[in-house]
Amino acid sequence: MLELLGTPPERIESNFGDFSVDRIAKAGDITSKISLSDGQEWTAVSKSDLLAASWTEDDRHEHMYVTKTSTTELTVTLFTQPLRYVDYAKANNGRRTFSGKCEQEF
């Protein structure tokens, strides 16, 4: 279950918890710029509509990225970032990705 709340969405309710929306980018928007020490600048551009959301507990930060893959389908990627030292091989489930039909827009 994935429900976008608000217009534009401010929160997401899901089977994986309630997330606060951090950012919404439309296709073609610049999502980040990185300046390297040698003077180069790298720019990341969203290829499709993107919604980034997250929530934080004492020991972890959970991230959710929702992208439009067509006018009626979304792909959701979840991953956990530990906020303290852990053995990543034991603690991290890796990324989880889901796709499916969606009737909502962002």
The type of residue at 97 is T
Q: What is the pLDDT of residues 73-89, one digit of tens each?
A: 889 999 888 777 766 66
- What CA–CA distance (Å, rounded) separates 49 from 11? 17
- What CA–CA distance (Å, rounded) separates 21 from 51? 7
Q: Return the pLDDT at 44.
A: 93
Q: What is the pLDDT of residues 15-35, one digit of tens each?
A: 888 999 999 999 999 999 999
Q: Among 79, 90, 66, which residue's Cα sits nearest to residue 8?
A: 66
- Enter the pTM of the model: 0.78
- What CA–CA distance (Å, rounded) separates 5 from 40? 39
Contact 22, 9 (CB under 8 A): no
